[in-house]
Structure 1
Amino acid sequence: MLTELRGHLGQALFERVAGPEGPAARARIHDTPGPRWFPPDRPIRIVHGDASMFIGGISALLLQSLHPLAMAAVAAHSGFRGDPWGRLQRTSTFLAVTTYGTADDAQEAVDHVRGIHERIRGRTPEGLAYHAADPHLLGWVHAAETDSFLRAHQRFGASPLDDADYDAYVADTARVAEALGVIDPPRDRTGLTQCLSIYRPELRATPEARAAARFLLLRPPIPVVAQPFYAGLAANGVAVLPAWAREVLGLPPLPFIENLAVRPVGRALTGAIRWAMAQPPPSQ
């Protein structure tokens, strides 16, 4: 009975994250022979394969929304409201291919994304021009994502890494960022902190960013039965944000509540996800 429940939960989660083509994509990514961008022992494989990514992903979206040009591009072109699960599935597949897939498949995925970025242009409601292929804008998206995944793994990873390995994780992500068009991405945590600081004068909570936060935190398109579980993940996505980002978004810290309830819930939920999605032994 427990094994059956585990299988059903794991399959439901995987289908939500990977989409209907998930099993075929997983087989292609992991079973196709050939050289990879990252050997099996690289930190990026550990971080991106951990259940903490569920929390890190929510945090990354909130943090990325603070750049007006990035948020305008997302609001106008990504379809995150009309097809949020599709966007999640495309993003998760890209992360999986570049992290675990063959070098040829990783480059093909990057080329595809670069082609999409090249076509995305427009103006913010204030009239500022944006281009998704702008290296400066790509640099912000990359830094915000890397910082969020790293923070989530530090707090909720099954096996948190040491300082040197977290620096190596940042260096690993720089490999993908450069392929996407980022110029001189950070290669350790010190560089990542400095990079985020450089962008801070450009950041603010636009009406589009606040609307995205309400959508992510209060109105997610998920079944009612799953909403309490998502609420726990979302609360921890907020909790792992840098303090300054929470302030800009108007999400004040509540240390007592977070330490007493939010963080333990995050540990329990990531543990449950890890249990459900782990592959059972062949004998089962």
Structure 2
Amino acid sequence: MVGEKDLEASLETLRANAAGPVAGVFGPSSLTWRIDREAVIFLGAGRALLLQLAHPWVAAAIAEHSSTLADPIGRFHRTFDIVFTMVFGSLDRALLSSRQLHRRHSMIIGEMPETVGPFAAGSRYCANDIPSLRWVHATLVETALMVHDLVLPPLSAEERERYWSEARLYGALFGLTGDDLPADWSGFAAYNAAMAQSDTLTVSPAARQIAEQIFRGARPWLRPPRWYRALAARMLPERLRAGFGLVLDARDIRAADNALTWIRRVYPKLPDRLRYVGPYQEAQARLRGEPQPDWMIRCLNRAWIGRPQMDVRGKG
């Protein structure tokens, strides 16, 4: 388990390797900024969530401790607020977000309500468990690159290695050390392939129920469109797709194909102000020395993180 001292040790290592106090952990020349700035990465949110739910501990924690179902928009904002502040925030804000996430996770403990895969009923789970954190980290890193390469020119082999090297820094924000993560991209790919076949990922009844409720939508206007559900399902390993009961018919496949074709044609032509997420644009404004994000960045931030400015937050 990642304790507070473990986290602080990871953050000290990260601070020594960060781009700088203003640039943050990664900075503008990083592949992490280049990929995570793209609004189209949201296409992978459904896939990442389903992969996380496929881990029985994660599903149990969400079922018992999360407001995902009662407040899906709030959950969306809180999740992206944490992720984007870690990636695009100033160094102090990124570290603060890391500490806040760790404190939140420290309160998420419980017992498995039933046996699922290798996890026995009554066994204890905790959100700061290293294997669970490693898996959540992997779903975010792999999915972002997968969607990027679906829509935009794929990264080269050398760029993938750089991206994974940066992802190991990102892992430090979760309290993961170099020993907790694969050393290179091929090791990361092997880890994901092994997890996809392992019964460590077993879709529990709770996971399936949460997924059904999310993709059905608490209200009609919150329901993801057919093509989005189909695309999320197609990006899953077949075994997990079956576990979630995601059966795709010809209409589903056609809807996903048509949407992806249209997105590939239109998205790269969007102006940067619409194409790039608000927190990235705020980070660029911060590097230019601008004291406040402009009105458009504030509007985009409200859409992505639920508040107008990323780099304003209470003390941790």
Common fold by TM > 0.5:
yes
The answer on 1:175 being equivalent to 2:173 is: no
Which residue of 55, 61, 74 maps to 1:67? 55
Q: Which residue of 2 aligns with 1:205?
A: 203
Task: Answer yes or no: is the 8 Å Cα contact 1:98–1:106 preserved in 2.
Answer: yes
Establish whether residue 128 from structure 1 lines up as the match of residue 150 from structure 2: no
| 2:81 equivalent to 1:93 | yes
Q: Give the counterpart letter for 2:57 in structure 1.
A: L
Give the conservation status (yes or no) of the 8 Å contact 2:65–2:108: yes
Q: Give the counterpart letter for 1:62 in structure 2.
A: L
Aligned partners of 1:259 and 1:189: how far apart in 2? Answer: 30
Question: 1:38 aligns to what?
Answer: 26
Q: Deviations over 1:18-49 (max 9, x none)?
A: xxxxxxxxxxxxxxx72421121211112211
Aligned residue number for residue 55 of structure 1: 43
Contact 2:106 2:126 (C-alpha < 8 Å) held by counterparts: yes
Q: Which amino acid aligns with 1:236?
A: L
- 1:142 pairs, out of 130, 137, 140, with 137
**Cα offset for 1:265?**
0.6
Query: Would you tell me which structure has more helix in proportion to its own residues?
Result: 1
Amino acid at match of 2:188: L
Number of positions where the alignment pairs a residue of Structure 1 with one of Structure 2: 245
Q: Summarize the Cα distance change of 1:81–1:274 in structure 2 as closer, same or farther, 3 Å threshold.
A: farther
Residues 34-93 of structure 1 show CA distances to partners (whole Å, capped at 9, x for unaligned) of 242112121111221113321111110011111111110111112100111111111111
Query: In the aligned structure 1, how far is the partner of 2:148 from the partner of 2:174?
Result: 24
Structure 2: state its 5+ residue gaps.
Answer: 1-20, 115-121, 275-293, 295-316
The Cα of 1:259 is off from its aligned counterpart by: 6.3
Please name the residue that 1:189 is paired with: 185
2:35 counterpart letter in structure 1: V
Give the Cα–Cα distance (whole angstroms) in 2 for the partners of residues 277 and 84 of structure 1: 29
Deviation at 1:206, TM superposition (A): 0.5
Give the equivalent residue in structure 1 for 2:304.
Answer: none
Taking a change above 3 Å as real, the CA distance of residues 234 and 274 of structure 1, as seen in their structure-2 partners, is farther
Per-residue CA deviation, residues 140-168 of structure 1 (Å, 9 max, x unaligned), is 11112222222222112x34322322332
Q: Which residue of 2 aligns with 1:268?
A: 262
CA RMSD of aligned residues (A): 2.8
AA paired with 2:135? W
Q: Displacement of 1:189 after TM fit?
A: 3.3
Within 5 Å, which residues of 2 pair with 1:243-282? 243-252=238-247, 260-269=254-263, 278-279=272-273
Work out whether 1:232 is the aligned partner of 2:220. Answer: no
1:131, CA displacement in angstroms? 0.6
CA gap of 1:253–1:192, structure 2 versus 1, over 3 A, is: farther
Give the TM-score normalised by structure 2.
0.69
Q: Does 78-87 or 47-56 show the bigger shift?
A: 47-56
Q: Structure 1 residue 244: deviation in Å?
A: 3.5
**8 A contact 1:233–1:266 mirrored in 2:** no
Identity, % of aligned positions: 26
Determine if contact 1:167/1:187 at 8 Å carries over to the other structure. no
State TM-score, norm by structure 1. Answer: 0.76
* 2:97 aligned partner: 109
The one-letter code sitting in structure 2 at the alignment partner of 1:181 is G
